[in-house]
Structure 1
Amino acid sequence: MVATPVEKKYEIKDISLAPKGKQRIEWAGREMPVLKQIRERFAKEKPFAGIRLVACCHVTTETAHLAIALKAGGADALLIASNPLSTQDDVAACLVADYDIPVFAIKGEDNETYHRHVQIALDHKPNIIIDDGSDVVATLVKERKQQIADIIGTTEETTTGIVRLQAMFKDGVLSFPAMNVNDAETKHFFDNRYGTGQSTLDGIIRATNVLLAGKTIVVAGYGWCGKGVAMRAKGLGADVIVTEINPVRAIEAAMDGFRVMPMAEAAPQGDLFVTVTGNKHVIRAEHFEAMKDGAMVCNSGHFDIEIDLKSLGAKATEVKEVRNFTQEYKLANGKSIVVIGEGRLVNLAAAEGHPSAVMDMSFANQAMACEYLVKNKGKLEPRIYNIPEEIDREIARLKLQAMGIEIDALTPEQIEYINSWTAGT
């Protein structure tokens, strides 16, 4: 359902999906105690009163709780999708119908629609931007320079987005502070390793229903996401190969018990390939040519450019859908390659993304990073900042409290010892 162009307040698939969306949002909330505590505090303190905020995120049940928390804090918030296949249409409908949050997101939207939604987000004249890949910030810097004066800052929680922000800073065009949520300890340890590890394999299994035990799975990239995917695949009985460009990470993968080799060597051995690099064309034409008949490829990085689908399409004599979110490319050499989730994030395209318990901490970081930007308005230089350690630790403390876990505290004697150089050993 699309509102009239003159008074367009949202653009979603179907407002009647709202009841189902509300039920799913409430279920996710059972596993998000940290964000619940932050939302309750925001509702009392209203840190975002008078603040216009746009969020370009995966529109999921977990993101809904972030949006609701920000609105509870007084934000005039608007939400758009960061990935065409990650939107959950019932969630979008619920946010519009039950929480009066403008949402511009439709599962399967084309690139033209996506870019139009980015422009709509900027029409909101934001003071704070929550970005997922830095498309909104990049568009602002390139096309809406006159709005930069209104920006208090931005937050970013993807590796791809941080790389783009670093490039903007290097080129001297990042003229406002940016919070690096991606590298917060309570984000990358849990979101990237445990969240991506489980949800990637969840998406693959839902889309294909294949047995992973006994398969050779090639994981491209051994950052936190790659570590999670490799660990979970190994746990399910797969023979895991890791490809890397970073020698330190390659050594780590080898020490963790994985075979490490270039993609050219892995290509003829793999049954299933998962890219988690954040870069482009990690799997290319020469790799497709070397793969086994029936090899499956998917991406759990950020954008759909990690797999060179254009070259695969050019080689194909026929492309057909063999299951939901699963396409088979027949090649002239008689072999076939199966692509899962159109090369987009497989955990969101074919499943539901990260478990709520994981996103609880990621979105707690987002919410508190936004609050930090507002509290320090005018005090921060235009550069990229890590999440302050006290915020990271507070989120971890709240999570432990919710899990019923207690930890030790230093004694006065121990505090004195670690802060002194005269005590000796």
Structure 2
Amino acid sequence: MPYKVKDISLAPQGEKKIRWVQEHMPVLERIKKEFIEEKPFRGITVASCLHLEPKTINLGLTLMAGGAEVAMTGCNPLSTQDDATAAGAEMGLNMYGWRGENNEEYYENIHRVLDHEPDILIDDGADMIFLVHRERRELLENIRGACEETTTGIHRLKAMAADGALEFPVMAVNDAYTKYLFDNRYGTGQSTFDSIMGTTNMLIAGKTVVVCGYGWCGRGIAMRADGLGANVIVTEVDPIRALEARMDGFRVMKVSEAVKHADILITATGNTDVVAADEFREMKDGCIMANSGHFNVEINRQDLERLSKDVKKVKEDIEAFIMPDGRKIYLLAEGRLVNLASERGQGHPAEIMDMSFAMQALSARHLLEEKMDPGVYRAHDEIDMTVARMKLDAMGIEIDELTDKQIRYLENWEEGT
């Protein structure tokens, strides 16, 4: 199989990691067994642009078990784990990517994946989908559809669809209940603090943690910060989410005020310039900043560099920006998504990604089974419920079912008390 990875000799180390996560992804393993028997992707090429780490490689292996030729590259220059990509290549996947790619290499690797002339795309952030529409339009005729993994990507794709620019159907896997209720909340919450604590080796208890954004990712981060003993402040632009944060027990204020209190600030909005020049001028000495959004645009690094008199790398994945008045502001993982871009970042737990990648695999199969017009489609409830039931079964949990009488009662509007 073609591949371009940093060091193929790392494959045995990466394979151990992949085998470990497979033991903790029972839903995906069950789907893999079904795919081996049914071969739904026979003759199909699947191209993915995802964070290249053991759990993602397991998704690739599941699709390959279903008969697909699979080509994979990374969706972030710092989130690739080189031992995992080496193992993926050795296990039969077409792997292109390594940790620390520059911008040119990043897009070259997406093009290498697209050179396999895919039928289905699986994306995280929509860079690959956007590149097909902008530079590789010769591939559009062959593409049956795509699956998108993350909130940021869905925002981009809905904007494309609104402009009439999206030319094939996209399954919004991010909008599935078994994705955002668990991956975005419990996955992001835990993995963000796993990475921050591993990178800084600092205590969270007693510190003031500012969480910018109270979507499902922000909710998870705030919840974990609270559980670790932090004083939590939430910033929001949505009045309903702001009310929810307050009634969840957190202080709510504008970013400009919150930064004055922040010991640790974490962005999770999917938007740009959440923290920029005005906020850096007000930020307290020693504040640690991290981003859990997909792209490195939420914390304006250019403003931070412009305002600083010096920048020093003080530790792996920690930069100190020294202000003219002597204040130090710390930035983790270059402002990229900290739970994967940091050396200590492992991404979401395997038990969480089990559901998300099960949704990806089944949604990709759905694209082959149903012809859809171009647009962004929420992942089907039937698939969502299937994944949830499979997860409960894997956990040994049984739940009740409605009786026929209960079903009739719910469906009959004339029935009262």
Q: Which letter does structure 2 place at the counterpart of 1:65?
A: N
Q: Which residue is equivalent to 2:231?
A: 239
Partner residue of 1:23 out of 2, 16, 25 = 16
Aligned to 1:354: 348
Give the one of 191, 204, 216 matched to 1:224: 216
CA distance in 2, matches of 1:160, 1:283: 17
Distance in 1 (alpha carbons) for counterparts of 2:92 and 2:62: 13
Instruction: State the partner residue of 1:65.
Output: 58
What does residue 140 of structure 1 align with? 132
Q: Is it true that 1:365 corresponds to 2:363 in the alignment?
A: no
SS of alignment partner, residue 407 of structure 2: helix
Determine if the alignment matches structure 1 residue 103 to structure 2 residue 95: yes
- Flag structure 1 segments of 5+ consecutive residues without an equivalent: 1-7
Give CA-to-partner distance per residue, 1:381-418, whole Å, 9 cap, x none: 11111111111000000000000000001111111111
Matched, 1:9 2:2: yes
Counterpart Cα distance in 1 of 2:278 and 2:166: 38
1:380 aligns with 2:390: no
SS of 2:295's equivalent? coil
Counterpart of 1:421 in 2: which secondary structure?
coil
| Offset at residue 200 of structure 1 (A) | 0.1
One of 119, 122, 128 as aligned partner of 1:130? 122
* Residues in 1 aligned to 2:23 and 2:66: alpha-carbon distance in whole angstroms: 21
Partner letter of residue 366 of structure 2? Answer: Y
Unaligned runs of 5+ in 2: none
After superposition, where does 1:58-97 map in structure 2 within 5 Å?
58-97=51-90
The 4+ residue runs of structure 1 with deviation greater than 2 A are none
SS at match of 1:362: helix
- Once the 2 structures are TM-superposed, how far is the Cα of residue 41 of structure 1 from its aligned partner? 0.3
* CA drift at 1:424: 2.1
The residue number in structure 1 matching 2:305 is 313
C-alpha offsets along residues 344-374 of structure 1, whole Å, 9 cap, x if unaligned? 1111122101000000000000000000001
Note the 1:318-357 alignment, pairs <5 A. Answer: 318-350=310-342, 351-357=345-351
1:230 alignment partner, SS class? helix
- Partner Cα distance (1:210, 1:75) in 2: 45
In the alignment, the residues of structure 2 paired with residue 302 and residue 68 of structure 1 have an alpha-carbon distance, to the nearest angstrom, of 24
The whole-number CA distance in structure 2 between the counterparts of 1:383 and 1:339 is 38
**TM superposition shift of 1:9:** 1.9
Distance in 2 between residues matched to 1:216 and 1:243, nearest whole Å: 13
The Cα RMSD (Å) is 0.9
Deviations 1:251-296 (A, max 9, x none): 0000100000110011111011000001111110111111111111
Give 3-state SS (helix, strand or coil) of 2:140's partner.
helix
Query: Which of 198, 214, 225 is the aligned partner of 2:206?
Result: 214
How far residue 126 of structure 1 moved from its aligned partner, in angstroms, is: 1.0
Displacement of 1:13 in angstroms is 1.0
Distance in 2, Cα, partners of 1:176 & 1:59: 25
Conserved? CA contact 1:203–1:349, under 8 Å: no
Residue type at the aligned position of 1:45? E
Q: Secondary structure at the match of 1:103?
A: strand
Equivalent position to 1:273, from 265, 274, 280: 265
Matched residue pairs, number? 415
Q: Does 1:152 align with 2:120?
A: no
Cα offsets for 1:96-150 (capped at 9, x unmatched) = 11x1211111011111110111111221111100011101111111112222111
Q: Which amino acid aligns with 1:96?
A: A
- 1-structure distance, mates of 2:251, 2:130: 38
Residue 28 of structure 1 and its aligned partner are, at CA, apart by 0.8
Of the three residues 21, 26, 29, the one matched with 1:36 is 29
Q: Name the counterpart of 2:407.
A: 415
CA distance in 2, matches of 1:82, 1:235: 31
Question: What is aligned with 1:5?
Answer: none
Q: Residue type matched to 1:309 in 2?
A: R
Q: Is the 8 A contact 1:299 1:344 kept in 2?
A: yes
SS of structure 1 residue aligned to 2:321: strand
What secondary structure sits across from 2:202 in the alignment? Answer: coil
Query: CA separation in 2, counterparts of 1:64 and 1:145?
Result: 27
The normalised TM-score by structure 1 is: 0.96
Q: Percent identity?
A: 50
Alignment check: 8 A CA contact 1:330 1:337 kept: yes
**Equivalent-residue separation in structure 1 for 2:377 and 2:104 (angstroms):** 32
Q: Is 1:192 the equivalent of 2:184?
A: yes
Match of 1:120 among 108, 112, 130: 112
Amino acid at match of 2:357: F
SS of the residue corresponding to residue 210 of structure 2 reads: strand
Distance in 1, matches of 2:116 and 2:153, equals: 21
- Listed one character per residue, the Cα deviations across residues 14-41 of structure 1 (whole Å, up to 9, x for unaligned) are 1010011011111111110000000010
The correspondence for 1:398, drawn from 390, 396, 403, is: 390
